[in-house]
A and B are shown apart, each in its own frame.
Chain A
Amino acid sequence: MNAFQRMNTALMIDEGKKIFKVSRRAFVDPDILEAERAQIFDKCWLYLGHSSELAKPGDFVTRSVGGRNILFARDGKGNLKAMLNTCPHRGAQVCREKHGSAKSFQCFYHGWVFGLDGTLRSQPGEASYAEDFKERSTSNMQQVARFESYRDLNFICFDKDVESLSDYLGPVKEYLDVICDQAEMGMTIVGGTQEYSMRANWKLLTENSIDGYHALTTHATYLDYLKSATGALAQVAFEGSARDLGKGHAVLEYKAPWGRPVAQWIPSWGEEGKHELTRLYDGLVKRFGKERADRIATFNRNLFIFPNLVINDIMAVTVRTYYPAAPDFMNISAWALAPKEETEWARKYRLFNFLEFLGPGGFATPDDVEALEQCQRGFRNSAEAQWNDISKGMGKENPSYDDELQMRAFWSNWNEHIFRVPA
């Protein structure tokens, strides 16, 4: 064994020789997945949903988060609640709809009725229960251990002793501010969820979501398309940097030639678009000054929040989260995020842009799915071909957006969670 090869690690690192390798066992081993469930998904802050999805009291969505079934609802006072979607009586899922609006939640099995905040209101045969039964907190639907928000992004954690969301996010908050500040009235999730899957390990999507290196080859046809569409490209070159934001979080911030609805104009958007984008840009300058306005309007951000949340502010803004169902299978949910006050024109072009690149019917994501599934197939050889290489850009003072610093940030933190030894 080499000097840098430690026991109890999935990583092989030698800074001097610029070696950073990840054991392919990490993508295939069921024991690793079990450790991930206990030491990552049960311990870290996980994205639940956006406040705009629950616009008024009574609105709810049900969602699978970290292996649990969560009922996310706005109660009668307007407060957001994250509850375990299980009846305190005998365990049945209380709410069986994906989304909707309710006055109360009723478990159909024995008819227990809960308020929008999960408090037991009534149950058939009340006289047969203890007098103080309804006053007991154990009679109510259980709240998730921790529930906190930042800029309308709501997170939950199943570990009651976890640090605050604010501390967990740290420097990520500044990037969330840059993304959310493109809206004056706040951001909103646009109707429609993209729900898909990949026959690949979930960590492959983490890598892929913040990988600036694969675009030219994996997405050759997307770039062909932009070139053949008249006026779909701005005179802007790919250029930018990557940053390790600590605790496994990372970000790419870069310029790219595609149009941005806030606010990088491309000729195909015509005079109407130019007028609209100038108005948006001028508004940003007025609110934040030219430097920050330029950053908001003309830079793209691929933001990764450990362990499984991606917010990409690119040709549109997508919020994406994903969970393993097995070492070689993940489920993905993706939404479009947009300024609430956006005009019809901007919303239309934002969504047109989104579908061009993003999502399982786009011109790019299906090829990512293919790439990740092919990696997983390649890992069948992992007994012999044991290591992935993510050393690109090691030792650079300013790593480029197409280096692999951000993946090393993820893996180092992942390794700490799984093996409890700093990389």
Chain B
Amino acid sequence: MSDGVTAMHAIARTDVEDFLFAEAELLDEWRLPEWLELFTDDAIYYVPATDLAVDASPDNNLFYVADDRFRLSERVKRLMKRTAHAEFPHSRTRHLVSNVRIRKQIGDDIEVSSAFITYRTKDGVTDTYFGSNRYRLVPGSGSFRIKEKRCLLDSEGLRAQGRVSIIL
């Protein structure tokens, strides 16, 4: 048995769930600068177009969102401004996280999947985003950091929602 598998067995699903629930809470409370701190310095955050393969690359496919760590920090900066008109005043959101699974070990990291439903309400209109998130998490000092978050929407495009102005 390799060290990797030992490490994976040492991580309980409930630990991962606690982390993902805490992430959801930061998003719902609009504590985005704190949320950003969950990410590693080389992290990526992707929301692919919904007519692509699940492992498509943003280098040669059109996504909705394909942020490196710098652009993710700029996204957070933007969303905290009054001039981010789509989110001013801030919409109210509720990120529900479920079906959490530890998929595999990649070196010291783990790959995790979860199902999500996120409600966003603003100006009397409520939109629903649903799908799965695939994370690459880096375990360390009792918690995790996010190296990759790939948000796979199950809807056909964003026909109903119109935009992904919030973080999913």
Decide if A366 is an interface residue (CB 8 Å cutoff): yes
Inter-chain contact A361/B162, CB cutoff 8 Å: no
Hey, which chain A residues are within 8 Å of B163, CB to CB? 196, 360-361, 365-366, 369
Inter-chain contact B159/A195, CB cutoff 8 Å: yes
Q: How far is the CA of A198 from the CA of B71 in the complex (A)?
A: 25
Q: Which of A35-43, A81-89, A141-149, A223-231 sits within the interface? A: A223-231
Decide if B125 is an interface residue (CB 8 Å cutoff): yes
The size of the chain B interface, using a CB distance under 8 A, is: 40
Inter-chain contact B164/A361, CB cutoff 8 Å: yes
- Residues of A357-393 at the interface with B, using a CB-CB cut-off of 8 Å, are 359-361, 363, 365-367, 369-371, 373, 377
Q: 1/0 contact trace for B130-167 toward A, CB 8 Å? A: 00000000000000000000000000111111111100
Residue ID in chain B nearest A349 by CB atoms:
B59
Residue ID in chain B nearest A268 by CB atoms:
B70
- Residues of A160-196 at the interface with B, using a CB-CB cut-off of 8 Å, are 190-196
A315 CB to nearest B CB, Å: 14
Q: How far is the CA of A296 from the CA of B155 in the complex (A)?
A: 38
Chain B's interface: helix, strand, loop or mixed, by majority? loop
Inter-chain contact B162/A199, CB cutoff 8 Å: yes
The residue that B75 contacts in the complex, of A99, A229, A363, A373, with Cβ under 8 A, is A363
Hey, which chain A residues are within 8 Å of B50, CB to CB? 195
Decide if B102 is an interface residue (CB 8 Å cutoff): no
Inter-chain contact A348/B59, CB cutoff 8 Å: yes
Decide if B112 is an interface residue (CB 8 Å cutoff): no
Q: How far is the CA of A371 from the CA of B66 in the complex (A)?
A: 24
B79 CB to nearest A CB, Å: 9
Residue ID in chain A nearest B62 by CB atoms:
A192
Residue ID in chain A nearest B53 by CB atoms:
A191
Q: How far is the CA of A196 from the CA of B61 in the complex (A)?
A: 17
The residue that A192 contacts in the complex, of B49, B74, B85, B164, with Cβ under 8 A, is B49
Decide if B86 is an interface residue (CB 8 Å cutoff): yes
Inter-chain contact A220/B157, CB cutoff 8 Å: no
Decide if B54 is an interface residue (CB 8 Å cutoff): no
Hey, which chain B residues are within 8 Å of A355, CB to CB? 58, 62-66
Hey, which chain A residues are within 8 Å of B157, CB to CB? 193-196
Hey, which chain A residues are within 8 Å of B59, CB to CB? 344, 347-348, 351
The residue that A351 contacts in the complex, of B47, B60, B87, B161, with Cβ under 8 A, is B60
Inter-chain contact A360/B64, CB cutoff 8 Å: yes
A276 CB to nearest B CB, Å: 15
**Can you list 12 A-B pairs with a CB-CB distance of less than 8 A?**
A192-B48, A195-B50, A196-B161, A196-B162, A218-B85, A221-B81, A229-B70, A347-B59, A351-B59, A359-B64, A361-B63, A361-B65
A153 CB to nearest B CB, Å: 18
Inter-chain contact B64/A194, CB cutoff 8 Å: yes
The residue that A367 contacts in the complex, of B48, B58, B86, with Cβ under 8 A, is B86
Hey, which chain A residues are within 8 Å of B61, CB to CB? 190-192, 351
Decide if B51 is an interface residue (CB 8 Å cutoff): yes
Residue ID in chain B nearest A98 by CB atoms:
B51
Decide if A4 is an interface residue (CB 8 Å cutoff): no
Known: A196-B157, A351-B61. A371 touches B125 (CB 8 A): no
Q: How far is the CA of A354 from the CA of B65 in the complex (A)?
A: 10
Inter-chain contact B164/A351, CB cutoff 8 Å: no
Decide if A352 is an interface residue (CB 8 Å cutoff): yes
Inter-chain contact B48/A352, CB cutoff 8 Å: no
Hey, which chain B residues are within 8 Å of A193, CB to CB? 49, 51, 62, 157
Q: How far is the CA of A341 from the CA of B23 in the complex (A)?
A: 42
A348 CB to nearest B CB, Å: 4
Among B58, B62, B156, the one with the most A-chain Cβ atoms within 10 Å of its Cβ is B62
Q: How far is the CA of A221 from the CA of B51 in the complex (A)?
A: 29
Q: 1/0 contact trace for A90-125 toward B, CB 8 Å? A: 000000001100000000000000000000000000
Decide if A282 is an interface residue (CB 8 Å cutoff): no
B148 CB to nearest A CB, Å: 17
The residue that A190 contacts in the complex, of B62, B66, B156, with Cβ under 8 A, is B62
Residue ID in chain A nearest B124 by CB atoms:
A377
Q: 1/0 contact trace for A328-354 toward B, CB 8 Å? A: 000100011000000010011001101
